[in-house]
A = this chain, B = another copy of it.
Amino acid sequence: MISEKMLELGRKSSAIREIFEYGRKRKAQIGEENVFDFSLGNPSVCPPAVVGETIKKIVDELDPTELHGYTSAPGDLATRSAVANYLAEKYGTDDTADNIYMTVGAAASLTISLKAVICDGDEVIVLAPFFPEYRVFAESAGAKLVVVPCREGDFQLDADALSKAVNKNTKAVILNSPNNPTGAVFSEASIKTLAKILSEKEAEFSHTIYIISDEPYRELVYGDVKVPYTANYYDDTISCYSFSKSLSLPGERIGYICVSKKCGDWKDIFFAVCGAGRALGFVCAPSLMQKIIPACLGKTSDIAVYDTNRRILYKELTDYGYECVKPDGAFYMFVKALEPDAAAFCEKAKKHELLLVPSDSFGAEGYVRISYCVTTEQIMRSLPAFKALAEDYGKI
């Protein structure tokens, strides 16, 4: 008599959450330092000092009824202007406050964008491997999810597979680069090909196909890797951002949607975004967090820690005989399981207290995701376990 779909969604927490919960119990049994939990993308590095300083400063200095009061539904005007100026300066866009909508984090950015554009019968394409909640969000907005695999080996766009999947019902493609779970950054060539295919399909089917560009890891890249800014390559782009990962604020739920002004009907899309935010019950993004954003734009947590973790893990794991593509961004490593069944492999890993997420829930088989946004101490302590696991499979 209640919604069966919601009941099922609530009962079956995501595979990632299940492993995380197992980890909590296991840590209570054998001690936190003896469990190597690589399940969650929960940043271990503190936010930059400016976050706490700005919070205390505005609590002291602003009128509390203004600080904690409703902002307008798309967000505080000063914050939206600051975000627009940041994007304009960094990426050469023509964004202004008018096309920026502050959100309650990345998930809200996505559910609102999808609800704004999806009509009955629409399809949404995801490029696998993909963050499993995309399915929940797309289906909740009433769309059918269509999975298009990336190229194996480098996780770049498979142009043929995409071309075949786009049809008259395709309303949007969700792009996520740097990618969760692979850590791959879509190359400029991949983005250009994607843009070319979608533009041709828009012409062929005489309707708009949006790229919904989910970019919470945009600032988390290593070495001299550059993340192409999708909206500069494809006009019909809705960028979804969150400060969760760059500022280590995942619990605060603060992000934004930028409806590119190059979308032909960007003002209508922006109105629909406002309508969707209202229908879903968001009202406005948390006001205090909105108001710290102008001081924090362009700053990040100390991502050198993640880079260190990445280098150590990549070097050691490949030495032990594991195969994986060296990730360029985010804080995930996508490693080939040492047997075809990733879930079975993860069970064996558990015997060494290694908590890894099997790739099946990401729409790909035979891999595991390692979230390395943990302390470097945990990385070091876990190495013998990874080694022992490889030995179980006769790799060493």
Contact = CB atoms under 8 A, between A and B. Distances in A.
Contact of A283 (B71, B249, B253, B268): B253
Contact of A272 (B10, B67, B286): B10
Interface stretch (A43-51, A92-100, A353-361, A364-372): A43-51
A70 B251 contact: yes
Size class of A's contact patch? 35 or more
Contacts of A130: none
Interface in A102-156: 104-105, 107-112, 115-119, 133, 136-137, 139-140
A111 B68 contact: no
A104 B251 CA distance: 12
A14 to B, nearest CB: 8
B8 A281 contact: no
A265 B47 CA distance: 41
Contacts of A117: 1-3
Contacts of A47: 64-65, 68
Contacts of A276: 3, 6, 9-10
Interface in A281-336: 281-290
Contact of A111 (B104, B249, B275, B280): B280
A9 B279 CA distance: 8
A394 interface: no
A18 interface: no
A279 B70 contact: no
A71 B252 CA distance: 9
B69 A275 contact: no
A287 B272 CA distance: 28
Interface of A is mostly: helix
Contacts of A34: none
Given A104-B282, A117-B3, A274 B10 contact: yes
B119 A2 contact: yes
Contact of A2 (B110, B268, B289): B268
A271 B10 contact: yes
A46 B69 contact: no
Q: How many copies does the complex hold?
A: 2
Contacts of A250: 68-70
Contacts of A59: 52, 55-56
B280 A8 contact: no
A357 B230 CA distance: 44
Nearest to A104: B104
24 contacts: A2-B268, A3-B116, A3-B118, A5-B275, A6-B115, A6-B271, A6-B272, A6-B279, A10-B275, A40-B70, A46-B65, A47-B64, A55-B288, A56-B56, A68-B252, A105-B281, A107-B282, A111-B279, A137-B279, A140-B280, A251-B286, A252-B287, A253-B284, A253-B286
Interface of A: 1-11, 13, 17, 40, 42-47, 51-52, 55-56, 59-60, 64-65, 67-71, 73, 104-105, 107-112, 115-119, 133, 136-137, 139-140, 171, 207-208, 248-253, 265, 268-276, 278-290
Given A6-B115, A7-B275, A253-B286, 10 more contacts: A3-B117, A10-B116, A10-B270, A10-B271, A10-B273, A11-B275, A55-B55, A69-B250, A137-B281, A280-B281
